[in-house]
A and B are shown apart, each in its own frame.
Chain A
Amino acid sequence: MKHTTVVIIGGGATGIGILRDLSMRGVKAVLLEQGGIASGASSRFHGLLHSGGRYAVKDNEAARECIEENMILRRIGRECVEESEGFFVLSQQDDPAYEKPWVEACAKAGIKTEPVDVKEALRLEPNLDPGIKAVYRVPDSSVDGFRLVWHNAMSARRYGGEMLTHHEVFAIDQEGGKVKGVRARNLVTGEEVCISCDVVVNAAGSWAAKVVELVGLEVGVQPDRGTLVAFNHRFTSRVINRLHMSSDGDIFVPHGSITILGTTSFHADRPDAHEAPTEDVLKLLDIGEVLIPNLRSYRILRAFAGTRPLYVAKGSAAGRAASRGFHISDHSEEGLDGMFSIFGGKFTTYRLMAEKLCDLVCEKLGVHAECRTAVEPLIADPSPAMMEKAAKYFPVHSVPLVANRLGDAFPIVVEKAAAMKSNPLLCECEMVTRAEIEYVASDPSSHSMTDVRLRTRLGMGTCQGTYCSLRTIGALTECRVPFPLSPADNLRDFLQERWKGLRPALWGLQAREMELGRAVYAATLNIDGARDEQKN
């Protein structure tokens, strides 16, 4: 039996943020995540670091939280933020009467807005519809969700925080109205682990209701499906929002060489409703065309969906009308001491959510350490000497990208690359080299090529795995990374996972790419036939 002070359930931005915060305050904590790190909503959103402009009119408080956290994350997590700024655009279809109250609400929340002359806006963003009526500049940005969560995790580890991925909690033990510990199953090996603890924090996002069911309680969490479409082109330089009451499909967020359009809002009947239906994709294209008229000429890379853990107080609105604010439940009020749940909120405010929750936990534990997550950067900048050294073993133009992606692990991977005979690029779209892949694959949290993908972005680019996956499984098999699956099964799972995102938009250039994928992996390499012919 393992012992710790706090067990955190859920490895998304909130849970990992809590792990970091507690670890920095000197509180021992173990985090349990049923999948990989950031495999739920923390990676299944548009990657927008909100200025708060979107919520200014409806929920000024939430807007204020956004702008404050936005400024903090630019400082502490600048490796994860692309400072792209944002435009709010009044399209021909939007109500001009919304403009004035919006500007006032932004001012009230502390969000700086600056009117931009339409002609100038069209010069800066030539793909925008020439008929737009008004444009404002706001401090929106793009944020890499995977990376930010991982950097938090690395920072937490540095402070002694521990995390177990692919561990599903199946019981929360209690005695005399107090939590005693947590039991979980390792989904890879089937082993059970018991961890005794004083406090349990439920940060399971859309799964929060399932977690409190284990102790016979209820929480007001409603999973809400949001579908997003990633395009294989960066056709805007900035985040583009519609200047209207927040609605479906009205945000474009550029990331590196791609653009993400989102999102829809549909009631989801289960927290893992991650299938993006074609219907949602077509709806997004229809709405997106209002701002970007030539939208359909771009190749869709994939469609994906996540579930927002919306907080719905009994009897209040769901879906788009529900609050984007967050909520903390201290279950001692319902007779279970030592258990907290946190839900609702947005990625942009994950740090604040963690801080508030950790304040409560520390108060309960009698710990007086202050929260320092708003001031201490997630990772230390690599030294110029290390950057220079890296340039010898990585493609030169990829060095800053690799350093940002790897954070703490950058020097380790550079040394690894230096010791290798050569360090070829295995994923050319996302510039991932063999040293990085081997390093990430050997991390205890990696159990498959899909886990490696989540952390490195392997296979997330133009080819969607058609070219990089064979050579990656080759490299990983050669360096004997002990994955539980056979190479062919691992590759099949990886391609199947990619397929899930390709299927909802299977037409045009995307269909063309998929026929190539089937030609390579089924027709040429027969990995479909090999399934029954090979032994594991």
Chain B
Amino acid sequence: MNRKTDIVVVGSGLAGMSAALTAAQSGKKVTLLTHGAGTLAISSGCIDVLGYLNGVRVADPFESMATLPAEHPYSLIGGAETVREAIDWLKSVCRKGGIDMAHAAEEGNHTLITVMGTLKPSYLCPDSFNPDCLKDVHRAAVVTVENMKDVHPGLIIDQLHRYAELSDKEFMEAVLPCPIEHAHRNITPLDIARHVETPEGMKWLEKSLMPYAKLYPVLLLPPICGMKHSQQIWNQLCSALKVKIIEMVSIPPGVAGLRMRDVLKKALNAAGVYMVESAEVVRAEVEEGRCKTVHTLTASGEDAWEADSFIIATGGLLSGGISTAPGKAWESIFQLSLDAPADTEAWSSPDIFGSSFFASMGVKVNHELKPLNGEGNVCLDNVRFAGRVLGGYDFAAEKSGNGVALATGRYAGMLAGKE
């Protein structure tokens, strides 16, 4: 079977979905091929743009962007201006989909609260994660749900008190009774968030929070305020209980990431993007430096997908966009070499969070996100790369994962859309 559209996007993380939606909005016929659920499913759902540069906290991510090295994806796509435009675009997509995204009250990053009680710089977050209201109060309750193993108020409070700006606040531990049967499985924030989508779940949450809402003006919660209707549920709870609720950034499963994924999927659908799930791209046909087709493997066999241009947003090591073997690293679809040192030990730093080849390995591209060969020339003229498959940045140390995914995905979609 051979299908043709204008553009084929591979990958349904934030980069792939942003690319596909942007291209479709510019009038192109777009096919989105995806193998798994994309990393939004394990993401915080907040847009980290740039939190640290060489280990130093940045005050304003856009100001600091100008000092990034030339091979950093932000530098390649034009820096602050391009990134700001992508953020404004995502905000409008999310608003249409029912999630209001919030900037920090002052210029620069938010300082989000995590379920470990650590603070994390991030540029844009859903309203429900905005921690600004904590500044004006002295007391807050830290809430968990019984049997939720990954959220411990005692740990969160201990940790929050270690930050100068929070050391004098009074925090109280609160444990809500678990509203669902848990058998022998973990209770995660995702289970509770889904339950809260139901009328009985919503009633349960409101009733369980009531006693704490009477005592504390701010409640810190794991991300449990619903899924599809999270914004309404959060609004409703805040006004009914007369409190401010702050959802804390949580580890996988990524509740807020899934909320955003849902919004983007709906937008893709509305824009006419043809999305094919459970379709792993296993190879590509390339002729004279141009990609003709990519081929997916499904239970029914191999399918070929033809397009004028391709956007590859397959992620990094975790998602499979990058493959490795001792002394070798390559991009998985086109087998582009990533110039890995032959000595595998030189890939990583003795410090787990240290900077290293391993942390920032990825495809080298030009200003149009087209891949470059060893001589620095474009080697695939109608293929662009976006998101973690790109090299030149360390999403974990910089706290720039969703920022780079969004900005490069949108940029690749715009360029392909103009062709």
Contact = CB atoms under 8 A, between A and B. Distances in A.
Indicate, yes or no, whether A interacts with B. Answer: yes
A278 interface: yes
Contacts of A487: 116-117, 155, 158-159
B317 A535 contact: no
B152 A506 contact: no
A278 B396 contact: no
Contacts of B117: 487
SS of B interface (majority): loop
Contact of A526 (B39, B118, B158): B118
A237 to B, nearest CB: 28
A374 interface: no
Interface string B101-123: 00000000000001111111100
Nearest to B51: A529
A519 B318 contact: yes
B162 A535 contact: yes
Interface in A469-510: 470-471, 473-475, 477-478, 480, 486-488, 491-492, 495-496, 498-499, 503-504, 506-508
Contacts of A521: 353
B274 to A, nearest CB: 29
A20 to B, nearest CB: 37
Given A487-B158, A507-B325, A475 B396 contact: no
A530 B119 contact: yes
Contact of A529 (B44, B52, B249): B52
Interface residues of B, number: 60
A524 interface: yes
A506 B344 contact: yes
Contact of A520 (B149, B252, B399): B252
Contacts of B158: 477, 487
Nearest to A475: B152
B331 to A, nearest CB: 14
Contact of B358 (A470, A498, A506): A506
Contacts of B57: 529, 533
A525 B116 contact: yes
Given A474-B151, A511-B317, A506 B162 contact: no
Given A507-B324, A519-B396, A522-B353, A474 B155 contact: yes
A534 B159 contact: yes
B180 interface: no
Q: How large is the interface on A (under 10, 10 to 19, 20 to 34, 35 or more residues)?
A: 35 or more
B81 interface: no
A525 B114 contact: yes
B184 interface: yes
B376 interface: no
A514 interface: yes
A420 to B, nearest CB: 12
A318 to B, nearest CB: 26
A512 interface: yes
Given A426-B149, A470-B150, A511-B324, A526 B351 contact: no
A518 interface: yes
Interface in A385-430: 395, 422, 424, 426
Nearest to A474: B152
A71 interface: no
A477 B152 contact: yes
A380 to B, nearest CB: 30
B397 A277 contact: no
B136 interface: no
Contacts of A175: none
Nearest to A507: B324
- Name the residue in B119, B164, B344 with the highest tally of chain A Cβ atoms < 10 Å from its Cβ: B344
A467 to B, nearest CB: 8
A477 B117 CA distance: 12
Contacts of A528: 353, 396-397
B146 to A, nearest CB: 8
A516 interface: yes
A529 B401 CA distance: 15
- Name the residue in B51, B116, B252, B320 with the highest tally of chain A Cβ atoms < 10 Å from its Cβ: B116
B172 interface: no
B358 A278 contact: no
Contacts of B42: 516, 519
Contact of A536 (B146, B162, B326): B162
A524 B351 contact: no
A215 interface: no
B152 A522 contact: no
Interface in B331-379: 343-345, 347-348, 350-353, 358-359
Contacts of A522: 353, 396-397
Given A424-B147, A525-B116, A535-B164, A507 B344 contact: yes
Interface of A: 277-278, 282, 395, 422, 424, 426, 470-471, 473-475, 477-478, 480, 486-488, 491-492, 495-496, 498-499, 503-504, 506-508, 511-512, 514-530, 533-536
13 contacts: A422-B147, A471-B149, A487-B116, A488-B118, A503-B350, A504-B345, A508-B324, A516-B42, A517-B352, A519-B42, A524-B250, A529-B57, A529-B121
